[in-house]
Structure 1
Amino acid sequence: MRKLKISLSALLMLLLVSMFGAIASAETFTPTSTNPAPTIHVGDIDNSGNQNTHKTHGNFQNNTNSCANCHSTHNGEDDMLLMKSGEKELCMSCHDGTMGFYNVTKASEAGVIDSHELSASMHDVDSNLVVGSAPGALNNKSTATFECSSCHNPHGSANDRLLNETVAGKQYGNNYNVTIVGYTETITKLNQVPVGQKAIKLNLVEDPAYADINNSTTLSGLKIYKSNGIYNKPADGLTQAQVYDYKLNYSEFCASCHDDYLKNRENGPRADRVHYTHTTNSTKQGRSCTACHFAHGTDITTLRDTAGKTIADLEKPIVDGGKGWTDAQAKAYMKEVSKKGSSLKRFTNMAVCWACHQSTHQIANTPGTTNYPNTTDYKNYLVPGGDYSGKSLIK
């Protein structure tokens, strides 16, 4: 019996050692040009014999093996020969942070998806939702099932985030002529951008979390970027006209499904003549869909107040600009209480409205201003506790 106990102990020790060894191996994984992530194997020589910037999605070579990362020739689990039983399962096998560099369960400029935190709402790609049932869908009658590929092209796109250039059967990319005189903005749609010419360009910067990869000279030019969303002003060689095009096309992209939310400058009744709404086909700050909403979704960790503060910000010590609140205090304050839920919003409740509409509730910008309501200077009074600096985050 004693020998048996020793044997079992030894076996347990071996199992623990192997487990820790596997963990250590995963933590010390070193990407290479042909193995950029665990189990992802690609080539790095292009069709001209030069080292290229090949990635798993898109830019396939004539001798590609990249197909095998997602498809199984003989043992696929569906009629598209996918390695997993469903599209969401396949995408999340990499993009849940276990293999791919882009973890959609972690908050980013796109928001967060597949979250179970408080106040969570998201584009649900795992519910057999019909594309044509999207809120604000008037002329969108698509009966297709909403999937990751409803917005993204897994085989590659001219867009930096593999955004489809045709959504719900509509090609959305256009060129525009924008004329602004005072407060009057005149927008004329000129022509449709041919597929493959980047209908939307995002403001991407190298992700500091992957500095070693981005600075490497041996990874075939592989770069890991984080997005700052759409451009608001000319930068990196972009003209003002291009910035306008990209911004307007982003709203067109969303309106491919939510077609009744894309309004013209007349700001008149919706197409169904029921309601008035915000103008979204505008180049002005705060008028695009993504000014108020995340593309993937939101939860209690991504929501902000009018000051642009998140729960993490509020929990910081006062000396670091926070309030020193406990997690419970911060969550109770930030919780979305609207009956319809958080609706993929960037700001909690109606905080996004106050962040923009400050004309009658401004923070005093001159010393000695009396606190409201003990002043008649209604355009410049100090609202107790009010901080609307979050407007700087609205695009």
Structure 2
Amino acid sequence: MSKIKMSFSLILAIFLVGILSTAAFAKDPYGLKPVQSGLGFSVPFTGNSADAADIAGRSFDLVLQNGATVVKTYTATLDGSKKGTVTIPASDITPGTVYTLNLYHSDDTAHATLLSKSTAVATDGHNDPMLNTNNPTSKVNADGQTITIDKDGNGLVNANQTGYNNTRKNRSGQKVHGFYQNNTNSCASCHQTHTAANGESLLFKDGVYSTCSACHDGTTGAYNSFAPVSKDTASSVSGTFNVQAAGHNGSLHEADGSLKVAAAPGGNSDSNSKQFGQEFDCASCHAAHGAGSASENNLNIDPLGWGSVAYGTSSNDAKNGKLFNNIQIADRSALPTSMSTPYILVKFTATATDASNFWYSRAGVKQDDLVIQTYRWTNTKYVPDYSLWLRELGYPYKANTVLKDAANKDLTMDPNLTIVWRDGFAFGPSVANIASANVSIGIDVETTTNIATLFDNTAAGYIPDSGTEMSKYCASCHVDYLSITRTDNTGVYSQAHRHATAQDSLTCVRCHYAHGSEAQIMKDANDNSYFDLTAPGKVFDTAVAGNDAKAISYFVDPNPSSALKRYTGMSVCFACHGKGEQFIGNPNSNAKDKTTGEFLKGGNPGSTRTDISK
């Protein structure tokens, strides 16, 4: 998959910022994607033109595995359109088990060359064990009405049969989150015109959470937010909502609408606040209609609607507002030395160095072009910022960026001005005519298939400022956690010291998952996962009775909640700081670990780790 912006384009659809979210994966040339049918699977795939000249008749083996155990092998032959389908009946499947699907050529009798790989988990119709996250079966909405959370997926039967008998899941391959052309039925996948179950949004289910879960529960082939963790999914960028196993000490974002945004640590605890008083659900992070420059993660470019809140000093909400009316415009040669507002605009003439930087070069900026760019305040100075400029052309016209000349004329359509909305700058001769501006700041998280680029500025494919955008995304709710060192009072932890997360090398997703975490997904200080240490020959080899429980006990976080962490306990501290002499010089650190038999390793999380203590 090419570079995408998760703006994070629940990454869920984060789903991610994902992000993200979920994970961004390389495009599979065979398109192997299992779709649950009843409690079995239909697994379509497409032949690759490199297979052979007689590809239309070539046979393929699809091997169903549970861990290292082969459950069954199925054979399929491509049709004239070079497509094939394997049907896996319910009798071959145990619901809730994560299976691996491996595709080979049938004439590769030793199955030596793997062509494609996917995972699949079958869940029952309403996924009750996974959806039952200690939530009440009903909640009281803002109007004092008691609303039942519709977990069973019954919805309302209507002329379009939306949400009934799974018909919404098989509508000729339409795109649900975007591509709203007249040859699709996208809108009816989520909305009912006359018989909706929920409010003015006309959702076919009782609330955002239930509507999203109807597809993202593993029953449609869409991203399964509730899938149990497996070796193949343990590194998913979004984490998991399936933290129900007893003793796994899991934690997750309660995105079912039962909590207010005010519950977010580091935010504003006033539930009467317009922004923090909103219900927290899937749409708090994801844009169901699509967002940003692309993307399966559909991260909302304006989470909580901050782009329509004018920045001011009268309340915490105003201080977090991202709409800057009549924003200060400065020259780069004379930047302000103290903060007036968190963001300003800066004019300059592009140098050769400017023209070669990542954003300007891809936009076509040349040396000597006039540029106007967003700058943000750090602890001591203003620095370039590449957050997107929101442009709201439809109702209710609240979040919009407008560049104006001295006569107050809107220059956004000026032919001598190129506006790069997604990166927060404009260039061209008419920059000289910009005398005032209203700027609405959004968030656009951009990454590659290597999710480490969101927290490691040395990772392959790193895109400058993308990790900082990810932290800004999380800080839409957890406002005080965005810091070089926070100097303005915005939330409940304003005077506390904290990690400086407004930098690409240290972002929220370096330590946390977006969806949830538990013993099987967390790692220890040496970057070992549960699946690493339970493999054959390892210290918790599950071929030995009782080792599974021992492995879970080893990875369970010692705190009451894992706080959506990537690492158990405070292992993540050592994973980053482990090169320090205070660790190496300690004789207690120079011995093998009593449980794993390993020496401590240095290096950064996710990177190649090397022994430092032996």
Q: Taking structure 1 as reference, are residues 192 and 274 closer, same or farther at Cα in structure 2, changes over 3 Å only?
A: closer
Question: Which residue matches 1:144?
Answer: 278
Question: Which residue matches 1:3?
Answer: none
1:269 and 1:275 in contact (8 A); partners too: no
Residue 384, structure 1, aligned to residue 592, structure 2: yes
Residue 257, structure 1, aligned to residue 470, structure 2: no
Q: Distance in 1 between matches of 2:303 and 2:476?
A: 6
Q: Taking structure 1 as reference, are residues 94 and 151 closer, same or farther at Cα in structure 2, changes over 3 Å only?
A: same
How big is each residue's C-alpha offset from its partner over 1:45-99, in whole Å with a ceiling of 9 and x where there is no partner? xxxxxxxxx6221121134311111122232211222222221111111111111
Structure 1 stretch displaced more, 251-260 or 271-280: 271-280
Question: Which residue matches 2:207?
Answer: 86
Percent identity, aligned pairs only, is 29
2:454 and 2:507 in contact (8 A); partners too: no
Residue 163, structure 1, aligned to residue 299, structure 2: yes
Q: Distance in 2 between matches of 1:187 and 1:323?
A: 52
1:203 and 1:230 in contact (8 A); partners too: no
Question: Which residue matches 1:99?
Answer: 220
Residue 40, structure 1, aligned to residue 169, structure 2: yes
Q: Taking structure 1 as reference, are residues 269 and 363 closer, same or farther at Cα in structure 2, changes over 3 Å only?
A: farther
User: Which structure carries more strand by proportion?
Assistant: 2
Question: Which residue matches 2:439?
Answer: none
User: Which structure carries more helix by proportion?
Assistant: 1
Q: Distance in 1 between matches of 2:208 and 2:494?
A: 38
Residue 349, structure 1, aligned to residue 569, structure 2: yes
Question: Which residue matches 1:65?
Answer: 185
Q: Secondary structure at the match of 1:132?
A: helix
Residue 132, structure 1, aligned to residue 146, structure 2: no
2:388 and 2:444 in contact (8 A); partners too: yes
How big is each residue's C-alpha offset from its partner over 1:346-370, in whole Å with a ceiling of 9 and x where there is no partner? 0011111111111136569xxxxxx
Q: Distance in 2 between matches of 1:353 and 1:232?
A: 15
Deviation at 1:38, TM superposition (A): 7.3
Q: Which residue type is aligned with residue 360 of structure 1?
A: E
Q: Distance in 2 between matches of 1:170 and 1:296?
A: 22
TM-score after normalising by structure 1: 0.68
Q: Which residue type is aligned with residue 592 of structure 2?
A: P
Q: Secondary structure at the match of 1:72?
A: coil
**Structure 2 alignment gaps of length 5 or more:** 1-36, 47-165, 230-235, 308-321, 324-342, 344-372, 391-420, 423-442, 594-598, 608-614
Q: Distance in 2 between matches of 1:392 and 1:191?
A: 26
How big is each residue's C-alpha offset from its partner over 1:221-252, in whole Å with a ceiling of 9 and x where there is no partner? xxxxxx6662745889x7x6xx2221111111
Q: What is the alpha-carbon root mean square deviation over aligned residues?
A: 3.8
2:540 and 2:548 in contact (8 A); partners too: no
1:363 and 1:388 in contact (8 A); partners too: no
Q: How many corresponding residue pairs? A: 313
**Which of the residues 449, 452, 473 maps onto 1:204?**
449
**Structure 1 alignment gaps of length 5 or more:** 1-21, 45-53, 179-183, 206-226, 365-370, 374-380
Q: Secondary structure at the match of 2:523?
A: coil
Q: Taking structure 1 as reference, are residues 192 and 333 closer, same or farther at Cα in structure 2, changes over 3 Å only?
A: closer
1:202 and 1:231 in contact (8 A); partners too: no
Question: Which residue matches 1:372?
Answer: 587
Question: Which residue matches 1:217?
Answer: none
Question: Which residue matches 1:329?
Answer: 550
TM-score after normalising by structure 2: 0.45
Deviation at 1:372, TM superposition (A): 2.5
Q: Which residue type is aligned with residue 259 of structure 1?
A: V
Q: Secondary structure at the match of 2:258?
A: coil
Q: Taking structure 1 as reference, are residues 331 and 257 closer, same or farther at Cα in structure 2, changes over 3 Å only?
A: same
Q: Taking structure 1 as reference, are residues 192 and 200 closer, same or farther at Cα in structure 2, changes over 3 Å only?
A: closer
Q: Distance in 1 between matches of 2:601 and 2:532?
A: 15
Q: Distance in 2 between matches of 1:277 and 1:235?
A: 24
Q: Which residue type is aligned with residue 176 of structure 2?
A: T
Q: Taking structure 1 as reference, are residues 304 and 83 closer, same or farther at Cα in structure 2, changes over 3 Å only?
A: same
Q: Distance in 2 between matches of 1:74 and 1:29?
A: 35
